[in-house]
Structure 1
């Protein structure tokens, strides 16, 4: 009896649970892969939808109502349930499990928050795991991007995670433009599962040329970093150059584009009709790997078969550098988060200032003077002592400030915003000095105090 590789897939959160559920279904349909699955979630209703996962293989943590799309809530729920999580995984993790897969969506609160805790738990149990994660669409909210950025960073740094495989959601539209979104997700999951299944099949398939075996497949994930799956199939009569098609196979997929030259380890199986594998073509394949991956751990299997009408390229690249998509995600998450924080701060300031309504008659201190000529800018000001031994020259600084604020003419600012504006646009840092400048700008008619501590630039 052939001892096939055994996988344990742990689905985390909504997306991860769905992937694990699909993995189990595909493995059962294929009947060539031994796949145990389980799921951990903070949402009880969502956990119940995974019908291919046995009820005993599900763990509910936290409130049972979800993580409010907030990685911190997912993380806290996992920390508070560390003991339960460890006992749960220990029960699921039989000694004959060869590869542990974590599946999750990095845009959600549960997956991004729970995954680092689960990875560390797996490490404590003396094992490591491979994470298969989905990257949010670029059009998703700032919260999703922040969840993903924080989650991937923690998962990447965890010693319990050997490899991270990124599924790029933005590619779904290009690959499946007319499919329902749920169908597109299922196709992605199917591709991921079929890559492992097809490699297992090849590892058990005899070949008169080079071949790979299951021990090599198991060992490929020992190289830490990012990883990608290649699963490319085409009609054999369309293949003119096997090596050229090979180069396209690892970036022509739904997984995040990578730099193959940065890989530490590669396992690849190429299958097709016999006429594709002349000595010249096989030499070109080997040269392609050598040119890109000289000095790296490359395991290659070549499987010619007389009656095949298609050619397939199936492989895994591990120990990769951080993909460009992840760098872009980190930058966008930071930028959009900072913009969001500024918006919130402005709302808080506005609320603090109130609506400006009063039943008492108020005097609007708005001093609109005649336009000031350039000659008046040059009139001497007295030096105002700020601190002992230090003098602030109004005659030198006020014209600078006038030029700096001219572009904001007509805008209304709070006292705090005006100080920040002057600090950002000039080299004046001291708030006492700025207070003197603001007073002089009012005297000259460049600032009007429309209500207490609120100014209009005129």
Structure 2
């Protein structure tokens, strides 16, 4: 599942073994999306229109179309559910889709964004009920957490830490969408791209199954010290607001061109393992693709945090920190997060659902 407004940012990453579905009540938005597999939900309820920001309508629409959603999911191994929390369809339908996937036995991962602070002033009235963007987002996150194996929440406000004064509003929202894309692509690449060090799906499942809230880190560098820089960007997770410190489960992937060296792979690994819990279950993959010559990309998913941190993340996504850490100002340049490097070729792999 992916938001139609930003689906075009993720769809170009499509590969064999990966299926993309856009779910929406809005028929017009589906037509304008880049989705090869659109699913219109709640046709009887909304008559092809949007939800007007009402998550109750989004939930009811998904319930109405449960059979269509379940049919699309059939045969999946891993289901990604990505959405922007706070709106009608994302907040209302995402937990329903997650429940369908989880009950079917698929590894289910939620990757969602939490609204910018300035979005909290928006209010929508439906049937005499006042809806708050933040309240809708928090309620949706709590519902989603109960129906996924792993939940990654990306507070949009963290983008303010890496954006400069000249960043346009439109670019900020595009950047938020791109963060979702990188997170989803990073996890799927670990499984679908054949590499020098391959990661078995069972290993990924062992780390992410019933793991609760998780943290996502992405890093890209082409500098002289690219290995260390990419690893540090990913482990500091500025878009989450905390590091991977104390994680008991870590899945990470290193991707580089033919010029990547053994020592660079080792340096990335040293940075990651030095921060994780000493007893952490750490799974990593290493992929070489000539189209990444000059660059190193590191994607990290960290799980197994304390219950207190998970609770804080669900009640205050913007302020949640491991061990009371202060939010770290990121040195990640915007261009590194919005890199449009071509996606490496992939061989046929297990079916994924987004």
- Count matched residues: 299
1:60 — aligned with what?
Answer: 42
Structure 1 or 2, whichever has the larger Rg, is 1
1:50 — aligned with what?
Answer: 33
Cα contact 1:168–1:256 (8 A) shared by 2: yes
Q: CA deviation at 1:225?
A: 1.2
1:117 — aligned with what?
Answer: 96
Q: 1:274-313 to 2 correspondence within 5 Å?
A: 274=260, 277=263, 282=266, 285-286=269-270, 288-289=272-273, 292-302=276-286, 308-313=293-298
Gaps of 5+ in 2: 122-131, 320-354
Secondary structure at the aligned position of 1:294 is classed as: coil
2:213 — aligned with what?
Answer: 226
Aligned partner (choices 50, 53, 67) of residue 87 of structure 1:
67
Q: Alpha carbons of 1:172 and 1:88: their partners in 2 closer, same or farther (altered >3 Å)?
A: same
1:153 — aligned with what?
Answer: 142
Secondary structure at the aligned position of 1:293 is classed as: coil
C-alpha distance in structure 2 between counterparts of 1:186 and 1:330, whole Å: 19
Q: 1:35-434 to 2 correspondence within 5 Å?
A: 35-41=19-25, 43-55=26-38, 57-61=39-43, 62-64=45-47, 65-75=49-59, 77-78=60-61, 82=63, 84-95=64-75, 97-141=76-120, 143-156=132-145, 158=146, 160-177=147-164, 178-197=166-185, 201=189, 204-207=193-196, 211-239=198-226, 242=227, 246-253=231-238, 255-271=239-255, 273-274=259-260, 277=263, 282=266, 285-286=269-270, 288-289=272-273, 292-302=276-286, 308-320=293-305, 321-322=309-310, 326-328=314-316
Q: CA deviation at 1:298?
A: 0.5
C-alpha distance in structure 1 between counterparts of 2:28 and 2:78, whole Å: 29
Cα contact 1:258–1:324 (8 A) shared by 2: no
C-alpha distance in structure 1 between counterparts of 2:199 and 2:105, whole Å: 27
Structure with higher helix content: 1
C-alpha distance in structure 1 between counterparts of 2:109 and 2:250, whole Å: 15
C-alpha distance in structure 2 between counterparts of 1:117 and 1:23, whole Å: 22
Q: Write the deviation string for residues 355-406 of structure 1: whole angstroms up to 9, x where unpaired.
A: xxxxxxxxxxxxxxxxxxxxxxxxxxxxxxxxxxxxxxxxxxxxxxxxxxxx
C-alpha distance in structure 1 between counterparts of 2:116 and 2:53, whole Å: 15
Q: Alpha carbons of 1:194 and 1:169: their partners in 2 closer, same or farther (altered >3 Å)?
A: closer
Q: CA deviation at 1:243?
A: 5.5
Q: Alpha carbons of 1:277 and 1:213: their partners in 2 closer, same or farther (altered >3 Å)?
A: farther
Q: TM-score, normalised by structure 2?
A: 0.69
Q: Alpha carbons of 1:44 and 1:283: their partners in 2 closer, same or farther (altered >3 Å)?
A: closer
Cα contact 1:21–1:53 (8 A) shared by 2: no
RMSD: 3.6
2:351 — aligned with what?
Answer: none
2:342 — aligned with what?
Answer: none
Secondary structure at the aligned position of 1:261 is classed as: coil
C-alpha distance in structure 2 between counterparts of 1:69 and 1:117, whole Å: 17
Q: Alpha carbons of 1:274 and 1:323: their partners in 2 closer, same or farther (altered >3 Å)?
A: farther
Q: Write the deviation string for residues 301-349 of structure 1: whole angstroms up to 9, x where unpaired.
A: 3568999423322222234442866543599xxxxxxxxxxxxxxxxxx
Secondary structure at the aligned position of 1:67 is classed as: coil
The structure showing larger relative contact order (alpha-carbon pairs under 8 Å, at least 6 residues apart) is: 2
Secondary structure at the aligned position of 2:32 is classed as: coil
Q: Alpha carbons of 1:127 and 1:201: their partners in 2 closer, same or farther (altered >3 Å)?
A: closer
Q: CA deviation at 1:284?
A: 8.3
Gaps of 5+ in 1: 1-9, 332-458
Cα contact 2:222–2:294 (8 A) shared by 1: yes
